């Protein structure tokens, strides 16, 4: 009797593990990785605060001058303009009140970054700078359920772009739109530990995102996991069983950058010069 119970428990555990693996599904066959791997990516450009703000044209030019790719963030404004900026809230990087999604292009042009004379770049400006020169990791920042409009606006612009890139987001809904409408685009799920008190998300949502449980709906090509959290079992299974690629953010030392590269991850760095 006891042996029978033990066998049933073991069978249940095996079935649960198989279900977990299926939920973590990733895509192996995405094309274009050879143009992205083996490169280093400057996080929000190679900024140098306070003189050179994050996600500014000087920061992107500095990265390009060193032969690096760049990671950048894209928001959708109320008039369908695409702007390169990290937060939805304007205050940290501009000192202004409100959210960037509530602006139009004219309102955006009035803002300046972090006490400098630098304006908030348009997505078009950054694409024009990098086209044919270095790859981009493009993060889509959804806000207030605008994930579909944002994604469709970005992919419509990328249809005319001749450079190398991949697209990532914390929002699985963005990846679902990509999977359906532009399956050829390399897509990545951003994730991290999502400790309580960090992102203002319900506990179940933090759990699902931390453990990549939405992958079966989005089937990402890569997982972009915060480097200090990368011992996550779900990430390891995505790599070992599904063959997913990995991007590591945000690396702030040469030691971590070299560790990420040794692991075969795309390194996204800031606050130091990897060339020194």
User: Looking at the domain assignment, is residue 186 inside a domain?
Assistant: yes
* Closest to 175 in 3D by CA, of 222, 207, 143, 208: 222
User: Looking at the domain assignment, is residue 22 inside a domain?
Assistant: no
Please state the rounded mean pLDDT for residues 196-215. Answer: 84
Strands 82-84 and 69-76: antiparallel
Query: What are the beta bridge partners of residue 84?
Result: 74
User: Looking at the domain assignment, is residue 67 inside a domain?
Assistant: yes
* Closest to 248 in 3D by CA, of 212, 223, 273, 211: 223
Is residue 11 reached through a cis peptide bond, with omega within 30 degrees of 0 on the bond before it? no
- Per cent of the chain over pLDDT 70 is 97
Cβ(186)–Cβ(166) below 8 Å: yes
Largest CA distance in the chain: 77
Residue 173, judged by CB atoms within 10 A of its CB (0-12, 13-18, 19+), counts as: middle
What gap in Å lies between CA 168 and CA 43, rounded to an integer? Answer: 13
Q: Give the pLDDT score at 186.
A: 98
Residue 5: which pLDDT band, with cuts at 50, 70 and 90?
confident
User: Looking at the domain assignment, is residue 153 inside a domain?
Assistant: yes
Range of the domain at 136: 33-269
CATH code where residue 55 lies: 3.20.20.190
User: Looking at the domain assignment, is residue 262 inside a domain?
Assistant: yes
What gap in Å lies between CA 28 and CA 26, rounded to an integer? Answer: 7
pTM: 0.95
User: Looking at the domain assignment, is residue 274 inside a domain?
Assistant: no
pLDDT tens profile 33-53: 999 999 999 999 999 999 999
Q: What are phi and psi of 248, to 5 degrees?
A: -115, 130
Q: Give the pLDDT score at 131.
A: 98
User: Looking at the domain assignment, is residue 249 inside a domain?
Assistant: yes
Domain count, the chain: 1
What gap in Å lies between CA 84 and CA 197, rounded to an integer? Answer: 27
């Amino acid at each position: 009797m006891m042996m029978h119970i033990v066998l049933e428990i073991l069978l249940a555990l095996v079935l649960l593990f198989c279900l977990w693996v299926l939920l973590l599904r990733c895509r192996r066959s995405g094309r274009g990785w050879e143009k992205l791997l083996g490169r280093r990516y400057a996080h929000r450009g190679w900024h140098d605060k306070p003189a050179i703000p994050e996600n500014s044209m000087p920061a992107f030019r500095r990265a390009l001058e060193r032969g690096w790719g760049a990671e950048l963030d894209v928001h959708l404004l109320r008039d369908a303009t695409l702007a390169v900026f990290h937060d939805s809230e304007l205050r940290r990087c501009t000192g202004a009140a409100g959210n960037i999604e509530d602006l139009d292009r004219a309102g955006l042009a009035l803002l300046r970054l972090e006490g400098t004379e630098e304006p908030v770049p348009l997505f078009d400006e950054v694409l024009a700078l990098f086209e044919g020169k270095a790859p981009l990791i493009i993060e889509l920042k959804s806000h207030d359920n605008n994930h579909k409009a944002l994604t469709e606006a970005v992919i419509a612009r990328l249809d005319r772009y001749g450079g190398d890139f991949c697209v990532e987001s914390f929002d699985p809904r963005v990846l679902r739109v990509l999977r359906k409408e532009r399956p050829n685009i390399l897509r990545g799920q951003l994730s991290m530990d999502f400790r309580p008190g960090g992102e203002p998300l319900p506990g179940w949502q933090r759990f699902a995102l931390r453990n990549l449980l939405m992958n079966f709906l989005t089937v990402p090509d890569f997982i972009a996991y915060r480097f200090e959290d990368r011992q996550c079992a779900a990430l390891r299974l995505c790599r070992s069983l599904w063959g997913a690629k990995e991007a590591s953010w945000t690396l702030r030392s040469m030691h971590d950058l070299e560790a990420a590269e040794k692991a075969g991850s795309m390194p996204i760095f800031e606050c130091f010069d990897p060339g020194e």
